[in-house]
Structure 1
Amino acid sequence: MTMEKTIGLKEKKRTARSRPSWLRRFNDWFHLWIGIAAGIPVIIICLTGCLLVFEPEITAMSRSWWNVEIPAGGQPLPPSALREKVVAQLPGMQIRRLWYYGEGKAVKITPDNSNSLLFANPYTGKLLAMQDHEDVFHFIEEGHTNLWLPREIGHQVVSWVTAVFLILTITGIVLWWPKKWNAREMKQALTIQWKAKFKRVNYDLHNVLGFYSLLIALIMTLTGLIMGFQFVNKTVMQMLGAKPRSKEISAIQPGPEAVPATIEGRVDMIFKLVTTEMGEYNRDQISIHFPKDDAKSIYACTDMHHGSWRELNFDRNTLALLSSSQTKVAEDTPAGWMRRSNYALHVGAIGGTLTKWVYFFASFICATLPVTGFIVWFGKQRKKPSRK
Structure 2
Amino acid sequence: MEKPALLKEKQTVAAKSKPLWLRRFNDWFHLWIGIAAGIPVIIISLTGCILVFEREIVEMTRAWWDVEVAAHGEQLPPSVIRTKVLEQLPDMKIRRLWYYGEGKPVKISPDNSDSLIFANPYTGKVLALEDHEDIFEFIDEGHRNLWFPSKIGKQVVGWSTAIFLLLTITGVVLWWPKNWNTRELKQAFTIKWTAKFKRVNYDLHNVLGFYSLSFALIMAFTGLMMSFRFVHKSVLELLGTKQDEQKVFVVQPGPKLVPATIEGKVDLVWKLVTTEIGEFNRGEISIHFPSEDSKSIYACTDMYLGTWRELNFDLNTLALLSTSHAKLAHDTTANWMRRSNLSLHVGSFGGLFTKWLFFFASLICGTLPVTGFYIWWGKWRKQNKSKK
State the TM-score, normalized to the length of structure 1: 0.95
Distance 1:201 1:84 in 2: 62
CA drift of 1:370 comes to 0.1
Per-residue CA deviations over 1:65-117 (Å, capped at 9, x if unaligned) read 01110011211000000000000001121000000000000110000011100
* Partner residue, 2:253: 254
**Closer, same or farther: CA 316–334 of 1 in aligned 2, 3 Å:** same
Distance 2:154 2:319 in 1: 38
Per-residue CA deviations over 1:36-86 (Å, capped at 9, x if unaligned) read 000000000000000000000000001000111001121100000000000
**Closer, same or farther: CA 35–81 of 1 in aligned 2, 3 Å:** same
* Partner residue, 1:140: 139
* Partner residue, 1:313: 312
Letter in 2 for 1:361: F
* Partner residue, 1:5: none
* Partner residue, 1:46: 45
Distance 2:18 2:334 in 1: 46
* Partner residue, 1:377: 376
* Partner residue, 1:216: 215
1:357-376 equivalence runs, <5 A: 357-376=356-375
Runs of 4+ in structure 1 displaced over 6 angstroms?
13-16
CA drift of 1:16 comes to 9.4
1:222-301 equivalence runs, <5 A: 222-301=221-300
SS at the partner of 1:313? Answer: strand
Distance 1:326 1:14 in 2: 60
CA drift of 1:18 comes to 8.0
Distance 2:16 2:279 in 1: 63
Distance 1:16 1:272 in 2: 71
SS at the partner of 1:21? Answer: helix
SS at the partner of 1:95? Answer: coil
Distance 1:94 1:19 in 2: 68
Distance 2:179 2:17 in 1: 16
Distance 1:16 1:280 in 2: 60
Letter in 2 for 1:294: D
1:142-157 equivalence runs, <5 A: 142-157=141-156
* Partner residue, 2:336: 337
SS at the partner of 1:195? Answer: coil
Distance 2:150 2:362 in 1: 23
SS at the partner of 1:312? Answer: strand
Distance 1:169 1:248 in 2: 44
Distance 2:372 2:156 in 1: 22
SS at the partner of 2:127? Answer: strand
Distance 1:198 1:56 in 2: 37
* Partner residue, 1:21: 20
Distance 2:21 2:315 in 1: 64
CA drift of 1:261 comes to 0.4
The count of corresponding residues between Structure 1 and Structure 2 is 379
* Partner residue, 2:5: none
* Partner residue, 1:68: 67
Distance 1:15 1:50 in 2: 47
**Closer, same or farther: CA 63–386 of 1 in aligned 2, 3 Å:** same
Distance 1:38 1:301 in 2: 38
**Closer, same or farther: CA 16–383 of 1 in aligned 2, 3 Å:** farther
CA drift of 1:330 comes to 1.0
Distance 1:15 1:275 in 2: 69
* Partner residue, 1:350: 349
CA drift of 1:24 comes to 1.2
* Partner residue, 1:197: 196
Per-residue CA deviations over 1:300-356 (Å, capped at 9, x if unaligned) read 000010111000011111111111100001111111111111100001100000000
Distance 1:303 1:337 in 2: 13
Distance 1:210 1:15 in 2: 33
SS at the partner of 1:271? Answer: helix
CA drift of 1:17 comes to 4.7
SS at the partner of 2:95? Answer: strand
CA drift of 1:249 comes to 1.4
**Closer, same or farther: CA 84–179 of 1 in aligned 2, 3 Å:** same
CA drift of 1:279 comes to 0.4
Letter in 2 for 1:74: G
* Partner residue, 2:56: 57
Distance 2:329 2:16 in 1: 56
State the TM-score, normalized to the length of structure 2: 0.95
Distance 2:232 2:360 in 1: 27
CA drift of 1:19 comes to 9.0
Distance 1:206 1:15 in 2: 33
**Closer, same or farther: CA 19–248 of 1 in aligned 2, 3 Å:** closer
Distance 1:14 1:383 in 2: 30
1:108-119 equivalence runs, <5 A: 108-119=107-118
Letter in 2 for 1:285: E
SS at the partner of 1:298? Answer: strand
Letter in 1 for 2:235: V
Letter in 2 for 1:217: A
Q: Which runs of 5+ in 1 are unaligned?
A: 1-9
CA-atom RMSD in angstroms: 1.7
Letter in 2 for 1:135: D
**Closer, same or farther: CA 233–17 of 1 in aligned 2, 3 Å:** closer
Distance 1:253 1:71 in 2: 34
